[in-house]
């Protein structure tokens, strides 16, 4: 065997080992990179214990307010999993607080345009107080969220919109 064929034989072996590794191991390797939640990254920073029924405060310490980039937040804190609970925290309207709410769009077109015409109100202006408005991601489908106040201005100019597409929970039992 020449030098080249030894090298390619070794490479072949490494490939074989990688291919034959159960994919669960690869997932576990990614998941175990850290345990903190809410920082930057792509969401592989949860222990497998915490993968089920996780409660996530939308916006983290920013809560649900005008002018915070929630799409970016969702991207940085995803992926989300089926049966995760999102918590929207916003104070009921007062002399000093603008009202906020939570709507679900029916499609991406409306989401892009912040067109609330066919959207569904899921959390009204009062429901974000106290422990916040809780929404369970029951299905593996895109959820297109927005604040519906001021005829879409909070959604458009206020950046109060994001979408999540929950994944199948990787850990059961
Ligand atoms: Cu709002």
Report whether the peptide linkage leading into residue 79 is cis, meaning its omega lies within 30 degrees of zero. yes
Residues 137, 80: Cα–Cα separation, whole Å: 8
**Which regions of the chain carry the CATH code 2.60.40.420?**
35-164
Residues 158, 120: Cα–Cα separation, whole Å: 19
How far does residue 67's CA lie from ligand 1's centre (Å)? 9
Residue ranges in the chain assigned as alpha helix (H) = 3-20, 23-31, 70-77, 108-113, 153-156
How far does residue 84's CA lie from ligand 1's centre (Å)? 23
Residues 20, 10: Cα–Cα separation, whole Å: 15
- Residue-by-residue pLDDT tens, the chain, 173 positions: 455 555 454 444 343 333 333 433 333 333 333 333 444 444 454 444 444 679 999 999 999 999 999 999 999 999 999 999 999 999 999 999 999 999 999 999 999 999 999 999 999 999 999 999 999 999 999 999 999 999 999 999 999 999 999 999 876 55
- Give the distance between the most distant pair of CA atoms in the chain: 83
How far does residue 163's CA lie from ligand 1's centre (Å)? 16
How far does residue 90's CA lie from ligand 1's centre (Å)? 9
How far does residue 160's CA lie from ligand 1's centre (Å)? 6
Q: Would you tell me how many other CB atoms lie within 10 Å of the CB of residue 133? A: 22
What's the confidence (pLDDT) of residue 16?
38
How far does residue 60's CA lie from ligand 1's centre (Å)? 16
Residues 104, 116: Cα–Cα separation, whole Å: 9
How far does residue 162's CA lie from ligand 1's centre (Å)? 13
Superfamily of the domain at 35-164? Cupredoxins -  blue copper proteins (2.60.40.420)
How far does residue 42's CA lie from ligand 1's centre (Å)? 26
How far does residue 110's CA lie from ligand 1's centre (Å)? 17
The strand ranges marked E within 19-160 are: 55-57, 85-88, 102-104, 120-123, 133-136, 143-146
Paired with 121 in beta bridges are: 103
How far does residue 99's CA lie from ligand 1's centre (Å)? 6
């Amino acid at each position: 065997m020449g030098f080249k064929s030894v090298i390619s034989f070794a490479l072949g072996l490494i490939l074989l080992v990688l291919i034959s590794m159960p994919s669960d191991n690869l997932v576990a390797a990614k998941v175990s990179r850290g345990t903190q939640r809410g920082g930057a990254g792509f969401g592989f920073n949860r222990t497998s214990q915490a993968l089920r029924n996780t409660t996530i405060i939308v916006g983290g310490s920013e809560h649900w307010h005008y002018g915070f980039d929630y799409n970016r937040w969702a991207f940085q804190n995803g992926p989300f999993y089926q049966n995760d609970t999102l918590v929207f925290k916003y104070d009921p309207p007062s002399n000093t607080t603008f009202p906020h709410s939570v709507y679900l769009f029916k499609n991406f077109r409306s989401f892009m345009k912040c067109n609330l015409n066919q959207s569904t109100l899921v959390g009204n202006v009062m429901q974000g107080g106290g422990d916040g408005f809780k929404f369970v991601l029951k299905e593996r489908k895109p959820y297109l969220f927005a604040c519906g106040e001021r005829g879409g201005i909070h959604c458009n100019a206020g950046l109060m919109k994001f979408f999540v597409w929950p994944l199948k929970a990787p850990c059961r039992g």
